[in-house]
Amino acid sequence: MDLDNPPPLALPPLALYVHWPFCVSKCPYCDFNSHVRASVDQQAWRDALLADLAHEAALLPGRRLGSIFFGGGTPSLMPAETVAAIIAAAMRAWSPVADLEVTLEANPSSVEAARFADIAAAGVNRVSLGLQALDDAALHFLGRAHDVGEGLAALDTAQRAFARVGFDLIYARPGQSVAAWEAELTRALSFGTEHLSLYQLTIEPGTRFATEVAAGRMAIPDPDHGADLFEATRRLTAAAGLPAYEISNHARAGAQSRHNLAYWRYTDYAGIGPGAHGRRGGMATVRHRKPENWIAAVQRNAHGLEREDALPPEERATEALLMGLRLSEGVDLARIARLTGLPIPALIDEAAVAALPALIARDGDRLTVSEAGMLLLDAILPKVVRAEAVAA
């Protein structure tokens, strides 16, 4: 081996994100790119998604494919034939790893649960259910169309149809006590799924909840109470064998979402469909957000891209640090330095790290946020990430 010219490091597997923007109704807390439409031309949408995929495949030749994630919107409303066609096209475009992870987000309605077997037959092997709460009054407050009984029936159907199952819950809801959340979470942990995504309710601009807060009809969750709920969440999930591997995501050993890990670890991912973002070779890609604008762009240009932006090293470093430090494993500073060409002292304020030993620690090239630090992550990051990177 030529020690002066070592071979390039093998690229990590590629992740593919597919956005399906349609929902039956818009939830009052949701700021995702989701839309309600009276009808959808399914053949036109299948053709457009396949064309958008082909465009990305041509720009990312020779890659291994590690994961596919169907998000939304409500991708469980997609015809199984469309799901199968996209999976097949992706596997032709790239060489899939032996244990390719194919995730689909699903609503737990009885109508959608009845289609789980067809979706599994299409090639999906992991499903993420949007249960959101195990209390009927809370589900009504959150604008969900299902009740607890229907949601748990869908969960049972999912566990029989798919090899891997997880679900989402929203906590820190108005009036929710620590004891009530502990009881709800304990029940959730009893169902035996491998993965839980547990999110505190946040009031996002442009949502119906934001309007309610502005009008004084709804209170913003108290941060101190939210901290108590967060600590209870970490304690109960760890005790049940599903410790947090990311600030809001919990899994059994080996059951972490590989697709989301690719995103948080700042590796390449292709994004297709309305509003989908992607990262490839130092470029940030953004698709047209409105469904009608996206599909018109695909029909006009054979892709749905709105823009492609070259990311300067400082911005790439910032993104890699801000996302990676959400993970319990932390970040490999040497890897980010190689990725961006910036030396480690340009990435982090080492004096600030040393001044916060109970919250963030450096062990060689590995930088990690402690359990206590995760509660204060938003305050820690501006202190330790170099100011010039944050400004970028």
CATH number at residue 328: 1.10.10
User: Are 20 and 88 found together in one domain?
Assistant: yes
Tell me how far apart the alpha carbons of residues 298 and 171 are, in angstroms, rounded to a whole number.
Answer: 39
Q: Is residue 3 part of a domain?
A: no
User: Are 112 and 38 found together in one domain?
Assistant: yes
Tell me how far apart the alpha carbons of residues 100 and 106 are, in angstroms, rounded to a whole number.
Answer: 19
Mean pLDDT for the chain?
93
* Final residue in a domain of this structure, among 264, 294, 321: 264
User: Are 129 and 232 found together in one domain?
Assistant: yes
For residue 378, the enclosing domain spans: 313-391
Q: Is residue 178 part of a domain?
A: yes
Q: Is residue 294 part of a domain?
A: no
Q: Is residue 377 part of a domain?
A: yes
* Residue of 286, 333, 294, 332 lying closest to 311 (CA atoms): 286
Tell me how far apart the alpha carbons of residues 226 and 200 are, in angstroms, rounded to a whole number.
Answer: 7
User: Are 196 and 104 found together in one domain?
Assistant: yes
Q: Nearest-5° angle of CA 130, CA 135, CA 141?
A: 75
- Range in 3-7, 52-56, 123-127, 159-163 the model is least confident about: 3-7
The pLDDT tens digits for 118-145 are 999 999 999 999 999 999 999 999 999 8
Contact 33, 274 (CB under 8 A): yes
- List the end-to-end C-alpha distance of the chain, in Å, as a whole number: 39
- Range in 213-222, 257-266, 368-377 the model is least confident about: 213-222
User: Are 112 and 242 found together in one domain?
Assistant: yes
Q: Is residue 308 part of a domain?
A: no
- Structural domains counted in the chain: 2
Q: What are the b/e assignments for 226-251, b being 16+ CB within 10 Å? A: beebbebbbebbeebebebbbbebbb
Q: How many CB atoms lie within 10 A of CB 276?
A: 26
Query: At 52, is the pLDDT very low, low, confident or very high (cuts 50, 70, 90)?
Result: very high
Q: What is the arithmetic mean of pLDDT over 47-64?
A: 97
pLDDT of residue 28: 80
pLDDT of residue 112: 87
Q: Is residue 291 part of a domain?
A: no
304: left (phi over 0), alpha (psi -120 to 50) or beta: alpha
* Final residue in a domain of this structure, among 201, 229, 264: 264
User: Are 158 and 88 found together in one domain?
Assistant: yes
Contact 210, 203 (CB under 8 A): yes
Residues in Cβ contact with 227 at an 8 Å cutoff, skipping those fewer than 6 apart: 375
User: Are 250 and 322 found together in one domain?
Assistant: no
Tell me how far apart the alpha carbons of residues 156 and 383 are, in angstroms, rounded to a whole number.
Answer: 45
pLDDT of residue 275: 96
User: Are 257 and 330 found together in one domain?
Assistant: no
pLDDT of residue 11: 87
User: Are 260 and 387 found together in one domain?
Assistant: no
User: Are 177 and 318 found together in one domain?
Assistant: no
User: Are 246 and 320 found together in one domain?
Assistant: no
Q: Nearest-5° angle of CA 76, CA 77, CA 80?
A: 75
Residue 58 sits in a domain whose CATH number is 3.20.20.70
Q: What ranges in the chain are assigned the alpha helix state H?
A: 42-59, 80-93, 110-113, 116-121, 136-141, 148-161, 178-189, 208-214, 223-239, 258-264, 291-301, 313-324, 333-340, 344-347, 350-354, 371-374, 377-384, 387-391
Q: What is the arithmetic mean of pLDDT over 258-263?
A: 96
Query: At 347, is the pLDDT very low, low, confident or very high (cuts 50, 70, 90)?
Result: very high
- Range in 21-30, 197-206, 278-287, 291-300 the model is least confident about: 21-30
Q: Is residue 299 part of a domain?
A: no
* Residue of 249, 256, 282 lying closest to 268 (CA atoms): 282
Q: What is the arithmetic mean of pLDDT over 331-338?
A: 96
User: Are 108 and 173 found together in one domain?
Assistant: yes
Share of the chain above pLDDT 90, in %: 82
Q: Is residue 73 part of a domain?
A: yes
pLDDT of residue 9: 53
